[in-house]
Amino acid sequence: MRLAEIVAARPLVGEGVLVMLTRRCPLRCAHCATMSTMSAPHADAGVLRRFFDTFTVDSHPAVAVLTGGEPLLRPALVTELAAAARSAGTRTAVLTGAFFATAARIPAPVRRVAAAVDHFSISLDAYHEREVPRASVFRVLRELIELGVAVSLHVVGAGPDDPYLADATADVRRCFGTQVPMLVTGLRATGRAASWASPAIPAPGAAAAEPCAMAAWPVVTDDGTITACCNQNVVDGVARPEHLRLGHATVDGWPAVRERTRSSPVLRMLRTLGPRGLDARVAADGGWPAADYCGTCERLGRRPEVLAWARANAAGPGGALLDRQAAHGQADAGPTALVRRYGCAPYADLVDLDRDREPSR
């Protein structure tokens, strides 16, 4: 499964699910959004197994992305969940910080993970490189490519003008050509970076439609709560407004979670207008400050008139149609266009480097 396939499906409602296996990680990267440590909790394996067991041939996400923390601290669980997903028709991807890369060869449990999943992505940035050298990451990529595994890099920089991004992406292209596509994004002022990173500056225009593609895939957090948002404040539970809650993995299965994701009028409006566009259409005072995109969404719970308007206007077939049109319009524009919106625009084309190659599997 190619990186471009995963990114292209991101705006499609219920097409995928993000699953956080742990908050634990042996690395201490200065920008870590989850503030992971080795004393942080694991997600309950039994709860995750139960949730994956609700995937059926008739009702399953097309893609399950396994994240952390560091999910490869639990390689047997990753392998087990990937097998369960595949039996229902779901493909899996794993994102790792490659803490194991300093070993001479990929450890056997990680090789089993690579054989079980459909895509293997590694984080690469200046902060990871203080913990895991770039040369070690490149050695792992070469070994995975030799095994026939579809790979990619998730590269983070301070912004489009960060010289690190220019150097790292050029190095990847020089060493791997088109074999290693890259999702290049900007640093977020969350987690350990909250005290020192500059906040991202959102696009202007509160009244304009700014569809939120990130409200399309449910997120299973490490405490089992299922949300409609991957914003770190929501994942961490710092802010979990009711309109972003989809259930809990201890009691809710995939069919119910997918239906809630698809049918929620508020989520439909968020995916069609975006939080600022929705708020500005209803609030008599013009809504919250235009510069705060995700914050506006979090605060909609304190705007009952906005939520009521969304329910009145998006609960029926018309709302479902607008939702589908917004999703497919973004998907049809392709993965590069989506990365221009959510990642580092000058590097957006790197997400589809292998577009002319046949996927490994």
39-91 confidence digits (pLDDT tens): 889 999 999 999 999 999 999 999 999 999 999 999 999 999 999 999 999 99
Partners of 17 in the β-ladder? 64
Q: Confidence band (pLDDT; 50, 70, 90) for 257?
A: very high
Work out the average pLDDT over 268-279: 92
**pLDDT at residue 289 is higher than 70:** no
**pLDDT at residue 201 is higher than 60:** no
pLDDT of amino acid 36: 76
**Domains of the chain, earliest start first:** 3-240+333-352 (3.20.20), 254-328 (no CATH)
**pLDDT at residue 21 is higher than 90:** yes
Work out the average pLDDT over 195-218: 65
- Per residue in 79-120, pLDDT (tens digit) is 999 999 999 999 999 999 999 999 899 999 999 999 999 999
pLDDT of amino acid 137: 97
**Residue 225 backbone phi and psi in degrees, to 5:** -65, 140
**pLDDT at residue 357 is higher than 70:** no
4: left (phi over 0), alpha (psi -120 to 50) or beta: alpha
Q: Confidence band (pLDDT; 50, 70, 90) for 193?
A: very low
Give CA–CA dist 92/26, Å, rounded.
23
Residues in Cβ contact with 177 at an 8 Å cutoff, skipping those fewer than 6 apart? none
User: Would you state the structure tokens that stand for residue 11, as one six-digit string?
Assistant: 């705006």
Number of residues written out for the chain: 361
- The whole-model pTM stands at 0.91
The three-point CA angle 180-184-186 to 5° equals 160
Whether the Cβ atoms of residue 305 and residue 242 lie closer than 8 Å to each other: no
- Per residue in 127-185, pLDDT (tens digit) is 899 999 999 999 999 999 999 999 999 999 988 999 999 999 999 999 999 999 999 99
Work out the average pLDDT over 227-243: 90
pLDDT of amino acid 188: 65
Q: Confidence band (pLDDT; 50, 70, 90) for 29?
A: confident
User: Would you state the structure tokens that stand for residue 58, as one six-digit string?
Assistant: 């008739």
